[in-house]
Amino acid sequence: MNLEWKTFLIAKGAFIITEPKIYVLSDSLGETAEFVVKAAASQFNKGHALIKRVPYLIDEEYIEQVVAEAAEETAIIAYTLVVPKLRDCLVREVKKYNITAVDILGPMVWAISENINEEPKMEPGLLYKLDEDYFSRVEAIEFAVKYDDGKDPRGINFADVVLVGISRTSKTPLCMYLAHKRIKAANIPLVPEVRPPEELFKVSSKKIIGLTVRPDVLNPIRQERLKSLGLVPNADYANMQRILKEIEYAESIMDRIGCTVIDVSNKAIEEMAGKIMQIIYRGDKGERK
């Protein structure tokens, strides 16, 4: 089809112009690849693309999951992976799914290597080495947001710590606080009517921490939550019998897992987070097992 005829058909609405879907994969922050992708997309009609950045890839299993997801989306993959085993894994997976993948960094790295006759270090994130703590914190925060409230149970496998408990036991605030300490934390709500993810029972119980609370402390907290949402404070959510049922159910799950349990009643976030970090780093116990 010649250009004039194609232009005519587009003008008549015979073609639907869509935005390309592009996954940006990196074993560092991924900003370089995303910038290049945006620059390339600007050369086309709408000038931008649907970009999903997946930074800090550190294991092959996660790469396999991301590539499978990209295949389902019929997406292109752009990547800046300098760790050889991760890059080899990606190349293998994109071939399996017949996905178009573009190595953003590799050709230039090897061109420089040949030009100066020196082997590259092949270490991710050297550009940001001075800010390593900062970017570790960013990574942990992104992780906490992605795997908050059981949105994706796969996070259980990759988390440094997994918090479980009923509603209003400070799971999300604790995960965000821990993220600022560069700890990857996921959380899973325990609800009697919802079966907990199987991943909870497959990982080591040492990285799972249960959060419990006294019913007399939880009841007014839930009532205030209902008021803030414009709902009546005596709804089932804040009913004492409902609360007792949820606590009993949650404790049965924690017993099944065999995890450490912390009572969060009347405790500040900093205090609870400090206890969790002691458990993570020193193997201290919670109030009970």
278 with 140, same domain: the answer is: yes
173 with 61, same domain: the answer is: no
117 with 213, same domain: the answer is: no
CATH code, domain carrying 241: 3.40.50
264 with 142, same domain: the answer is: yes
Question: On the CB side of 24, how many CA atoms lie within 13 Å of its CA?
Answer: 20
161 with 117, same domain: the answer is: no
Position 104 in a domain: yes
Residue 34 in 3-state DSSP?
helix
Q: Is the dihedral of CA 19, 22, 28, 33 positive or negative?
A: negative
Domain boundary among 61, 89, 124: 124
- Angstrom distances, CA of residue 38 to CA of 34, 66, 108, 124, 200: 6, 20, 19, 22, 39
Contact criterion met (CB below 8 Å) for 164 and 158 = no
Contact criterion met (CB below 8 Å) for 206 and 163 = no
Q: Which helix (H) or strand (E) holds 107?
A: helix 106-116
Could you tell me the residue range of the domain that residue 190 belongs to?
132-282
Domain boundary among 89, 124, 159: 124
79 with 168, same domain: the answer is: no
Domain boundary among 107, 124, 141: 124
Q: What is the pTM of this model?
A: 0.56
Query: Strand pairing partners for 26?
Result: 80
pLDDT (tens digit, 0 to 9) for every residue of the chain, 289 residues total?
443 434 444 444 444 446 889 999 988 778 888 888 888 888 887 777 889 988 888 889 999 999 999 999 999 999 988 888 898 999 999 999 999 999 988 888 888 888 888 776 666 655 555 456 777 888 999 999 999 999 999 999 999 999 999 999 999 999 999 999 999 999 999 999 999 999 999 999 999 999 999 999 999 999 998 988 888 877 899 999 999 999 999 999 999 999 999 999 999 999 999 999 989 887 665 554 4
**Angstrom distance (rounded) from CA 121 to CA 124:** 9
